[in-house]
Amino acid sequence: MIPVTKTFFPPIKEYHCQVQRIWDNQWLTNRGELVKELEANLKAELGVTNITLTTNGTLPLQIALKVLAGGEVITTPFSYVATTSAIVWEHCTPVFVDIHPEYLTIDETKIESAITKKTTAILATHVFGNPCNVEEIEGIARKYNLKVIYDAAHCYGVKYKGESIFNYGDVSTCSFHATKLFHTGEGGAMFCRDEDLNHKLFYSHNFGHNGPEDFYGVGINAKMSELQAAMGLSVLPYMNKILEARKKIVDFYNENLDFSKLQKLKIRERTNWNYSYYPVIFENEAKLLNVKKELNEQEIYPRRYFYPSLNLLDYVNRDRMPVSENIASRVLCLPLYKELEPEVLFKIIKSL
């Protein structure tokens, strides 16, 4: 079976070495030695000022919303469901703004018309690792005194204008789920340059603790465990090889697919992309379904990602988002992972 993606497993002996440290320390959670080491390594690797590791990639969104937002939050309908669910879960109201038809990120030219007196924040997604128009969004946020949260779940290693994409916005979040480029099995992180806000985010992810017997304020349990950090420390040395392998596959798709009837993702200018996904957009949904069926019969499983457009969920206001709805009905992510063999790529391209 060929899935749309595949978890990278580091050599088990190397993971065992990290796990042995946990047994030696007799420390499983509550910010042990491995979590702190992984944070330091990632700060250096990514070029960020602050990072707080978490047990998954959704909790950072919820914490950022809890700390920064309320009322209405402007967001994108083209993202994974967690982006919208986090807004609703934190008792805010998602206000959808349609997307750009080529970049697939939120259409910054439509944000201002969606702002009301109840708007407190913008939560936008860097789709498939492709950056939003961060300069325009920042300008709008300053003009209307709004906070900016970026769902950067797909963005490990992405740089925009030479700087980590995590350095944009008031808060950026990332997923370290097993399906992501860099992973800790389950896991995530939040990034923030402002020291006061970073402090608030940090204690919010640890019950609000200020030492064992005092509290800064309300918080939840979002801490990463030592076992998760052990996986991250084992995966991190292989990231260059992972990225190189994925680039070769993306280049192969780019060189061999027929784009007279397919649209590919347009990467924003001055972006160092991370080859996180390979979406193709068909002429219509019927052709997508036909190709998906053909590939499934060969035990090749691309994914309709993202589908459906989030404005069509049952628990939100179902305002029409014509571009997002149209793209969501026609987009298919092709298999992309380090171990993907050339003969499988030829099968995929032949079917397409």
pLDDT, residue 156, reads 98
Strand, coil or helix: what is 38?
A: helix
Helix (H) or strand (E) holding 149: strand 147-151
Q: Are strands 72-75 and 119-125 parallel, antiparallel or unpaired?
A: parallel
pTM of the model: 0.97
- Distance, in Å, from the CA atom of 254 to the CA atom of 305, rounded to the nearest integer, reads 19
- Distance, in Å, from the CA atom of 296 to the CA atom of 292, rounded to the nearest integer, reads 6
Note whether 265 and 130 are within 8 A (CB): yes
Q: Sketch the domain layout of the chain as residue ranges.
A: 12-237, 239-351
Q: Does domain 12-237 have CATH number 1.20.1430.10?
A: no
- Distance, in Å, from the CA atom of 157 to the CA atom of 165, rounded to the nearest integer, reads 8
Strand, coil or helix: what is 120?
A: strand
Closest CA relative to residue 295, chosen from 344, 241, 233, 223 = 344
Predicted confidence (pLDDT) per residue in 170-223, tens digit: 999 999 999 999 999 999 999 999 999 999 999 999 999 988 888 899 999 999
Note whether 275 and 243 are within 8 A (CB): yes
pLDDT, residue 211, reads 83
Residues in the chain predicted with pLDDT less than 70, given as ranges, are: none
- Distance, in Å, from the CA atom of 275 to the CA atom of 246, rounded to the nearest integer, reads 6
Would you list the DSSP string of 196-218? Answer: HHHHHHHHHTBTTBSSTT-BSS-
CATH number corresponding to 239-351: 3.90.1150.10
pLDDT, residue 117, reads 98
pLDDT, residue 215, reads 86
Other Cβ atoms less than 10 A from the Cβ of 112: the count is 13
pLDDT, residue 214, reads 86
How many helices (H) and strands (E) in the chain?
Answer: 11, 13
